[in-house]
C-alpha cells in the first residue's frame, strides 16, 4: 500500500496545490497506522505463542501431579489400617506438596493469561483521536491530537526502573499536561505521599523483558478497575501528558495505562467514556480496589471536611480535594512563607498533603499555580490556605485506602 501510494504521487509531477498536500498528509498518516498494525500483529502472534508454550507446560505439570496423586491413592488403598495410621503425617505432607504444586501451576497459567490478554489489547490498540485546536501567541492556529504517543527515552526508562526498585522516596513529580486527568494525577500524588502508598504503586507496575533480557514494556495492574483486576500492557507514553516538564516518569506509565483501559482514550468520561473529567473517588478505587470515603461540602457542616482531611493525613492515607464549580482568587501561603494571590481552578482535583486546625496544604497537579494579577507567571504548585478559604472554594474531600 505504501509503495503504490508513493509511486502514484511521484508520477504526478504537474499536480500541485492544497489538494496534493492534503493527499500526501493523509497517505503518510495512513501508512503510519498500517505500520503500527503490522508491528502489532507480530507482537500479538508472539504473545499467543508464548501463552501456548506456557499452557503446554502447565498441562504437562498437572498430568504429572494427577499421576502422582493416583499412585499415592493406590498405595493408600493397599495399606492396612495400622500402616495408614502410622504414616498419616507423611501422607498428608505428600498431599500438601501436590496441592501446592497444582496451585502454583494454576497461578502461573492465570498470570500468563492476564499478561497475554494485556499484550493483545496493547498490540492492536490505537489511542482514539482527540483533536483540539490551540491559538499560538503569533495568532496561528495548530491542531493537536491529545492521544498522540511516543517511546520512552533510555534515560527516562532507567529513571523509572530505578524508582520502582526503591519506593522509599518520591516516585514522580506531577506535571499535568493538556489531558484533563487531574483526578488521576492528584490521586496518584496522594498515594505518593507515604511510603506505604508508594510501595503499593510500585507493586502495580511490572517490567517485562524478552529472552535476551531486553526491555519490552510494563504490565500495569489496576486492582479496582471495571469491577476487578485489570491488567494493561504499556509500551509508550502520551506526548501531551506532561506540561512544561517533558520528562516522562512513573506517573506517565500510570497515565497511559489508565487511558488505554478507557474506550474513549483521552476524551471525557461522558459521553465518550474516556479517562478525562472523572471523580477522584472512582479513580482511587481503580488504584486500590477499595472504596474511598467522600465528605461533601453541604454548607451546614463544613467542619466535617476539615475533620476528614486531618484524620486522613494523620493516618497517612491518600487525600484529595476537588474544587467547586465556582471558585475565586485566594491569598495563600507558599512553601517559602510568602503570601501570594493565586487562581483556584474550578472543578479541579488537588492533592492534600497537610491539614491541621490552622489550615490545609494542597498541591496543584499542574505542577504550578497561576498568579491572579498575571496568569502568565507561574508560582509553586504547593500552597497553604485557611479553612475559611477552603470551604469557599472546594466541594469535597476524598480519602482513599491503601490495601
Q: Which residues are catalytic?
A: 182, 348, 364
Q: What 8-state DSSP symbol labels residue 227? A: G
Nearest to 221 by CA among 147, 118, 124, 319: 118
The CA–CA distances, whole Å, from 285 to 91, 224, 268 equal 44, 5, 19
CA 221, CA 164: separation in Å to the nearest integer?
14
Q: What is the C-alpha end-to-end distance of the chain, expressed in Å?
A: 51
Which residues contact residue 338 at a Cβ distance below 8 angstroms, ignoring those fewer than 6 apart?
none
Reduced to 3 states (helix: H, G, I; strand: E, B; else coil), residue 115 is helix
CA 293, CA 336: separation in Å to the nearest integer?
32
CA 240, CA 11: separation in Å to the nearest integer?
38
Which residues contact residue 43 at a Cβ distance below 8 angstroms, ignoring those fewer than 6 apart?
119, 122, 123
- Is the bond leading into 208 cis (omega within 30 degrees of zero)? no
Neighbours of 129 (CB within 10 A): 12
Residue 77, CB half-sphere, CA atoms under 13 Å: how many?
A: 6
Please name the residue that has the C-alpha cell 507446560: 57
CA 286, CA 280: separation in Å to the nearest integer?
10
Please name the residue that has the C-alpha cell 491572579: 372
> CB of 323 within 8 A of CB of 393?
yes
Neighbours of 106 (CB within 10 A): 13
CA 250, CA 232: separation in Å to the nearest integer?
14
Amino acid at each position: 500500500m505504501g509503495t503504490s501510494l508513493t509511486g502514484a504521487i511521484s508520477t504526478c509531477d504537474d499536480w500541485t496545490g492544497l489538494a496534493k498536500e492534503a493527499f500526501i498528509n493523509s497517505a503518510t498518516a495512513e501508512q503510519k497506522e498500517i505500520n503500527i498494525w503490522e508491528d502489532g500483529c507480530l507482537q500479538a502472534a508472539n504473545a499467543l505463542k508464548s501463552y501456548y508454550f506456557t499452557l503446554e507446560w502447565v498441562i504437562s505439570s498437572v498430568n504429572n501431579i494427577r499421576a502422582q496423586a493416583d499412585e499415592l491413592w493406590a498405595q493408600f488403598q493397599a495399606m492396612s489400617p495400622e500402616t495408614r495410621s502410622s504414616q498419616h503425617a507423611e501422607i498428608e505432607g505428600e498431599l500438601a506438596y501436590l496441592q501446592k504444586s497444582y496451585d502454583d501451576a494454576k497461578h502461573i497459567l492465570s498470570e500468563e493469561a492476564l499478561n497475554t490478554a494485556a499484550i493483545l489489547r496493547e498490540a492492536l490498540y490505537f489511542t482514539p483521536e482527540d483533536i483540539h485546536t490551540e491559538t499560538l501567541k503569533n495568532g496561528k492556529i495548530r491542531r493537536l491530537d491529545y492521544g498522540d504517543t511516543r517511546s520512552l527515552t533510555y534515560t527516562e526508562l532507567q529513571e523509572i526502573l530505578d524508582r520502582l526498585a526503591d519506593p522509599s522516596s518520591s516516585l514522580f513529580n506531577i506535571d499535568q499536561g493538556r489531558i484533563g486527568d487531574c483526578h488521576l494525577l492528584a490521586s496518584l500524588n496522594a498515594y505518593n505521599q507515604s511510603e506505604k502508598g508508594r510501595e503499593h504503586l510500585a507493586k502495580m507496575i511490572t517490567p517485562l523483558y524478552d529472552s535476551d533480557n531486553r526491555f519490552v514494556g510494563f504490565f500495569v495492574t489496576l486492582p479496582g478497575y471495571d469491577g476487578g483486576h485489570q491488567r494493561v500492557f504499556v509500551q509508550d507514553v502520551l506526548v501531551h501528558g506532561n506540561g512544561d516538564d517533558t520528562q516522562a516518569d512513573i506517573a506517565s506509565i500510570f497515565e497511559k495505562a489508565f487511558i488505554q483501559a478507557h474506550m474513549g482514550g483521552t476524551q471525557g468520561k461522558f459521553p465518550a467514556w474516556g479517562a478525562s473529567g472523572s471523580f477522584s473517588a472512582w479513580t482511587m478505587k481503580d488504584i486500590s480496589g477499595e472504596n474511598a470515603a467522600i465528605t461533601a461540602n453541604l454548607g451546614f457542616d463544613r467542619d466535617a471536611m476539615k475533620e476528614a482531611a486531618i484524620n486522613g493525613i494523620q493516618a497517612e492515607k491518600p487525600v484529595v480535594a476537588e474544587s467547586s464549580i465556582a471558585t475565586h482568587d485566594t491569598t495563600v501561603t507558599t512553601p517559602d512563607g510568602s503570601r501570594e494571590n493565586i487562581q483556584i481552578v474550578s472543578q479541579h482535583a488537588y492533592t492534600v498533603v497537610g491539614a491541621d486546625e490552622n489550615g490545609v496544604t494542597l498541591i496543584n497537579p499542574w505542577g504550578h499555580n497561576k498568579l491572579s494579577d498575571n496568569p502568565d507567571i507561574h508560582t509553586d504548585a504547593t500552597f497553604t490556605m485557611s479553612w475559611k478559604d477552603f470551604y469557599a472554594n472546594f466541594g469535597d474531600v476524598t480519602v482513599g485506602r491503601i490495601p
